[in-house]
Amino acid sequence: MVIQLENVSLIRDGKWILQDINWQIEKGDHWVLFGLNGSGKTAILNLLNAYNFPTKGKIKVLDLEFGKTYLAEKLRKQIGFVSSSLQEKFHPDDNAFEVVLSGEYASIGLYETPTDEIREKAIDLLEELGCIEYANRNYHTLSQGEKQRVLIARALMANPSLLILDEPTNGLDFIAREQLLESVEGITKNPDAPTIIYVTHHVEEILPAFNKTLLLKKGQVFAAGETKNMINSDKLTKYFNLPVKVQWENNRPLLSKLAAIETLSLNS
């Protein structure tokens, strides 16, 4: 079991941010964490990374149980975390290659001298993710899509058991988004791929490899299970409280709002 959350709740400023979250992730499954803005997605990620601890409930991540030992440093070295919030934390003079190398040490910035083996590994990841051509460019001069590819390469440097991609396509145009998703799909095909949690509020980003989905709504689990059972017209109409239609094409879902005339037809 990669993740076990049992009746997890979190209170902040007198308000329940999360309530009674139950979620189990087994090795070999790749999950989508789907939720609208304000649904509690970030709160769950902060718990999984041990940045926060639950008000009540039990959390176990990668066989480390919260509260039993000081686990933050050990845990984070086993988790590859990609979030746009990381982008502004790197030193202004760091190039893309240095950012990727820093992933070996789970540090923001490169403070150790990498071995030749570590450098070769970083080069391989840059090539695998299509970043090698701008490896020597200043990280802050890269496009949003290029930055995200570099962050994914950085996250993979430490051979994580769990890879969390927090809305990685935010700010990307269609072409850049699809190129990034193609890279993510390539990672899932690796026999040694980490378990992936892909966080999004865009249905069309759900790749075939993401076989499980958790629908989070107002800090609670609305539903969780096989993606095809979660991402369909009936389930999402109830989730959004709005009549919607889901079509699957090339094993990818497309979401649209039903027009009034279609809604009347369905209800008649």
pLDDT tens figures, 106-148: 777 777 788 999 999 999 999 999 999 999 999 999 999 999 9
pLDDT tens string 189-205: 998 999 999 999 999 99
Residue 9 confidence (pLDDT): 97
Model pLDDT, residue 136: 95
pTM score, whole prediction: 0.92
Inform me whether the pLDDT recorded for 185 exceeds 50.
yes
Domain ranges of the chain: 3-231
Q: Kindly report, residue by residue over 50-99, the tens digit of the pLDDT.
A: 888 999 999 999 988 887 666 667 787 899 999 887 877 888 889 999 99
What pLDDT shows up at residue 268? 42
Cβ–Cβ contacts within 10 Å for residue 133, how many?
Answer: 11
Specify the pLDDT at position 90: 84
Q: Taking a C-beta distance cutoff of 8 angstroms, is the pair 200, 32 a contact?
A: yes
Mean pLDDT of the chain, nearest integer: 91
pLDDT at 114: 87
The CATH class of 3-231 is alpha beta
H helices, E strands: number in the chain: 9, 12
pLDDT reported for residue 52: 87
